[in-house]
Structure 1
Amino acid sequence: MEFLEAAQTLQENGWLSHTPVAFQDAVLSRATFHHYRAGEVILRCAQPGNAIVGLAQGCLACQLPPRVDASSLVHLFAPGSWTGELAFFCGGVRRVDTIAYTDSYCMRLSKTNLDKILKDDPGYWQWCNLLTALTFDVTLMTLDALTTFDATARIAKTLKRLAIISEKTSLAKTSQADIGAMAGLSRKGAHDALKRLEQMGVVRCGYGTVDILCLDALEQVIQGVKSKA
């Protein structure tokens, strides 16, 4: 992937696709293009928020600080997603690590360059606020899944969140253990829940892959479990 292709992907997907062309141009003209290898730390926890990163190709993972009792994986980012804005806008330190889940191509915008953009046009702050709102929405979806008692519904909500964010029903190559971690379940718990969803004809599981066969059916599973509560 080259710079122009990455820029086009970010203009057509996610946060920037909801902003004016002038703002898109201001951001992308000041961003730098990077290739990260799988497993490489892109934004490190407890470090100053001096940049945000937009994913053009591949998959990024959001992880809490390492724990000995459970996986720290929280969320997977699809192309079009941007991350790192909380510490970036607030001036604090990062609460999570962002790593390359797979080989990934990204745009990186430094705080210095964003400050220049906002100095030239303070009205652009509304589009920065939009990024924060989009992230907050993902956070609420994550909390909704994690506070759901039924394991099948919890997995269904986690899959729905990943599908909505990626705007795809074929998810990035993801292990059942990682899906379980994002749903707050053990590997066995995730496997059993995915098996139930597969038997219901809602998903198809392969080696390291999960395909959602019907988002409407996934929603019906979620609503069905809700109605039994």
Structure 2
Amino acid sequence: MNSHPWHSHLMTGHWYSHLPVPLQDSLLGIARVRRLSAGHRLFKRGDPPCGLYAVLEGAVRVGAVNEQGKEALLSVIEAPHWFGEICLFDGQPRTHDAVAVGQCTLLHLPQAALLALLEEQPVHWRQLALLMSHKLRLTFINLEQLSLMPAPARVAHRLLMIAEGYGEIEATRQVLQLPQEQLALMLSLSRQTTNQILKDLQSQGILHLGYGEIEILDIERLRGLSAT
């Protein structure tokens, strides 16, 4: 049994728990724990590759802000998700900013050490490719929805995806720590539109809205709305 203090925590995630045990051990062998305070930037767009990360506690916002101050929010990454793998494959600069949401604890696999491990055991590249291909599938789904789905269905579907950890966790979460403004940014909707949709869902008894959080009361009805 792996004695690393974060091993059991990482085993709650689909990707890591399905890795061959020797690879799990090798990854933890080169890993370093990093702690970030709220608002601390892990990396910014254009930075050189710095390796692979897993969120252990807290969350990381991934997005970008243009010269006019408008923000594009791609995702809020929570435990036990891994991120940063694109630069591992192409060696190109970071595509977006990554900023800590509240106090955040990360596991960091430095780029050079991880590449050395994969050069020694190239069979494991496939496991990293699976991590990236899962996110690529989600991206295609989101792009399709942006073009074809009405706003209420997009809101319902994204809430479901977040509750289910984007396929990374087994149990569906009922309470989401999710400010409405954050949800609006992720869906490229106005805050007013998002707020109205959420209020409609609350009036139907599907959700309960709290301060900075959304509680799902009827997961099956929400699933039905996401399919329309």
Whether the 8 Å contact between 2:65 and 2:71 is mirrored in structure 1 is no
Deviates most, 153-162 or 170-179: 170-179
Residues 33 and 106 of structure 2 are in contact (CA less than 8 Å); yes or no, is this contact kept in structure 1?
Answer: yes
> What TM-score, normalized by structure 2, do the two folds share?
0.89
Aligned partner of residue 164 in structure 2, secondary structure: helix
1:220 equivalenced with 2:224 (yes/no): yes
More strand by share: 2
Structure 2 CA distance for aligned equivalents of residues 145 and 211 of structure 1: 23
How much has 1:149 moved relative to structure 2? 4.5
CA displacement 1:13-55 (0-9 Å, x = unmatched): 1421121111111111101001111211112211112211111
1:200 paired residue among 181, 188, 204: 204
Tell me the amino acid that sits aligned with residue 18 of structure 1: H
- How far 1:198 moved relative to its partner? 1.4
Contact 1:61 1:73 (C-alpha < 8 Å) held by counterparts = yes
Question: Which residue of the partner structure matches residue 118 of structure 1?
Answer: 118
* Distance in 2 separating the partners of 1:71 and 1:196: 26
Q: Could you tell me how far apart the structure 2 residues matched to 1:103 and 1:66 are?
A: 25
Task: Return the offset for 1:86.
Answer: 0.9
User: How much does 1:116 deviate?
Assistant: 2.0
Output the CA distance in 2 between the equivalents of 1:171 and 1:117. 39
Q: Give the count of matched residue pairs.
A: 222
Contact 1:19 1:127 in 2 (8 A): yes
Matches within 5 A, 1:69-218: 70-165=70-165, 167=169, 168-218=172-222
Residues 1:21 and 2:25 are matched in the alignment: no
Aligned AA (2:132): T
- Deviations for 1:77-133, whole angstroms, at most 9, x for unmatched residues? 121211111122111111111111221111011111112211221111111111111
Q: TM-score, normalised by structure 1?
A: 0.88
Q: Distance in 1 between matches of 2:146 and 2:39?
A: 25
Q: 4+ residue stretches of structure 1 with deviation over 6 A?
A: none
Counting aligned pairs with the same residue, the percent is 24
Gap runs ≥5 in structure 1: none
Is the contact made by 1:145 and 1:157 (CA closer than 8 Å) also made in structure 2?
no
Question: Does the C-alpha gap of structure 1 residues 14 and 77 become closer, same or farther in structure 2, counting only changes over 3 Å?
Answer: farther
- For the residue of structure 2 that corresponds to 1:144, the secondary structure is helix
1:142–1:161: 8 Å Cα contact kept in structure 2? no
CA spacing shift, 1:135–1:43, aligned 2, 3 Å: farther
State whether residues 55 and 106 of structure 1, in contact with CA within 8 Å, keep that contact through their aligned partners in structure 2.
Answer: yes
Closer, same or farther in 2 for the Cα pair 1:10/1:28, shift >3 Å? same
SS in 2 for 1:181: helix
Residue 179 of structure 1 aligns to a residue in which SS? helix
Matches of 2:182 and 2:115, distance apart in 1:
37
SS of 2:109's equivalent? strand
CA distance in 2, matches of 1:172, 1:67: 31
Q: Relative to structure 1, is the Cα distance of residues 12 and 203 closer, same or farther in structure 2, using a 3 angstrom cutoff?
A: same
**Does the CA contact (< 8 Å) of 2:176 and 2:215 recur in 1?**
no
**In 2, Cα distance between the equivalents of 1:142 and 1:67?**
25
